[in-house]
Structure 1
């Protein structure tokens, strides 16, 4: 019995010894990996900091050139004056938010770095129409009014009428809707061969009647109403060739009826106008 007890005790001691050695090996492995990881991270931080100091003090990343791209109507010198980028400054220290703030008067400015050149790409607003409020303003393709019109510049655009400055400043929902309707109409007219925006002198915006065009030469009102401008213009273009020489005798055209064009002749005229 004593012999068996000694054997069991001896075996138990060997198991405990092995377990202890196994735990020590695991802890040693974990500690070793931790030290290695810390050393790696420390080395990377050290190298990164030294690289930052090098580029900060060297002239490798100094602004050597500023290029302005995408300008069509804005002078490059104007944007350079607004940006106020110091050619001696380092790209690391360049405050892009501050540059963007200075250029914020323009719609969009995208920045990109190429070597030692700071490239500023400008997306300009493209005028699509004039709008008469208290004065003439330019409106872009999104229906946004962005600046007063300069009468010295060539502006071959229709004039939007019917709104006043107070309504626009208050962003009256119906006024904003009418501006979007005008944008939709102008987009629909772009690319047409028979009736284009150049043949329109005025687009009147009415809260009750919607849109009414006025032809450039004869000043004939063309009542469009609301929406469906593509189909309405298609109807107009079917009868317009026959009416070209008679427009001076027409009081108005109405396209705000379903599937037809109503031609109202002036009272003094007895001629019949085509309907479709």
Structure 2
């Protein structure tokens, strides 16, 4: 019987550690060779496709598909909130087993950006088998009534019809029509931009925010008229200097106090003066 000394025990441990390191190196080396082979095959395929060598590219393509190398196995979508991932993937219209090489990124970008809520889209390949889609969505700030109701964003882009039964709580632009936009699109666009400008000025003041806007009526001759949500006031503001006129209106409200609840309309369109109306009487 051979006695195991601490020295022999330590030697045995070192030998086992060396064996483990050798096995680990072999596995790592094998994995590296596999990754290198895949990468090399993908590069060769790309070069052949790029240089338009059809016979060789077809052969390499078949090999890639058979081995499942370079084919799209996953689509990752980022930045979507209103738009479902399934809708974006459907819009991409990718064929089963499609190679990443074969994806026309520009064409697919245009397809994704045609979705109502998508403002911008960026597509990129993530080798070996992933397609990344990053989108920026439009944020509705108001509704425009064009016989049917549509969302409009801060850029004035009318981008989606509101579905029946859909719950919304946004100011409504009225006064425009489809016929008007078709006949004189520049004028319609200018009025819509003024409405958005007024809405932005309104949202700068917390006091206005508490009152709320139910409707902004757009009229090229008489200007913009706000119908408030809380007191149902009618507020005429003309076509310019909205911030100044709103400040004058706020001063009048402060002066009137509770008496303002009896007012039905304020006419601030003249600039520095504010004409108020109690029912049918003007003061």
TM-score (normalised: structure 1): 0.71
Name the SS of the counterpart of 1:234 in structure 2.
helix
Matched, 1:98 2:112: no
- Whether contact under 8 Å (2:150, 2:160) holds in the other structure is yes
Residue in 2 aligned with 1:8? Answer: none
Aligned to 1:52: 47
Give the number of aligned pairs.
223
In 2, Cα distance between equivalents of 1:90 and 1:198: 56
> Using a 3 Å threshold, how does the CA distance of structure 1 residues 150 and 191 change in structure 2: closer, same or farther?
farther
Alpha-carbon RMSD: 2.7
Give how far 1:261 is off. Answer: 2.9
| Residues in 1 aligned to 2:228 and 2:239: alpha-carbon distance in whole angstroms | 18
Q: Residue 157 in 1 paired to residue 165 in 2?
A: no
Specify the SS of the correspondent of 2:159: strand
Question: 1:129 is matched with which residue?
Answer: 142
* Deviation per residue, 1:90-149 (Å, 9 max, x gap): 221112233234324223221123333211112222111111121111111111212211
Q: Which residue is 1:37 aligned to?
A: none
**8 Å contact kept, 2:120–2:136:** yes
1:192–1:150 Cα change, 3 Å? farther
Q: Name the counterpart of 1:114.
A: 126
| Structure ID, larger Rg | 1
Are 1:254 and 2:267 matched, yes or no?
yes
| Distance in 1 between residues matched to 2:239 and 2:73, nearest whole Å | 55
Cα distance in 2 between the residues matched to 1:170 and 1:235: 36
Shift in Å, 1:161: 0.9
For the residues of structure 2 that align with 1:196 and 1:76, how far apart are their CA atoms? 34
Question: Given that residues 211 and 228 in structure 2 are in contact (C-alpha distance below 8 angstroms), is that contact kept between their aligned partners in structure 1?
Answer: no
Specify the SS of the correspondent of 1:195.
helix
With the length of structure 2 as denominator, give the TM-score of the two structures: 0.69
Q: Secondary structure at the match of 1:78?
A: helix
8 Å contact from structure 1 (residues 157, 198) kept in 2? no
- Name the counterpart of 1:65: 74
Cα distance in structure 2, aligned partners of 1:174 and 1:197? 31
Q: Does 1:77 align with 2:72?
A: no
In the alignment, the residues of structure 1 paired with residue 202 and residue 164 of structure 2 have an alpha-carbon distance, to the nearest angstrom, of 25
**Distance 1:142-1:243 versus aligned 2 partners, 3 A rule:** farther
Deviation at 1:243, TM superposition (A): 4.7
Residue 142 of structure 1 is matched in structure 2 by: 155
Match of 1:211 in 2: 224
2:122 touches 2:135 (CA, 8 Å); kept in 1? Answer: yes
- Structure 1 counterpart SS, 2:218: strand
Q: Is the 8 A contact 2:264 2:279 kept in 1?
A: yes
Deviates more, 1:65-74 or 1:186-195: 186-195
Deviation at 1:170, TM superposition (A): 3.0
Q: 1:261 to 1:113 in 2, by over 3 A?
A: farther
In structure 2, list runs of 5 or more residues that go unmatched.
Answer: 1-42, 49-56
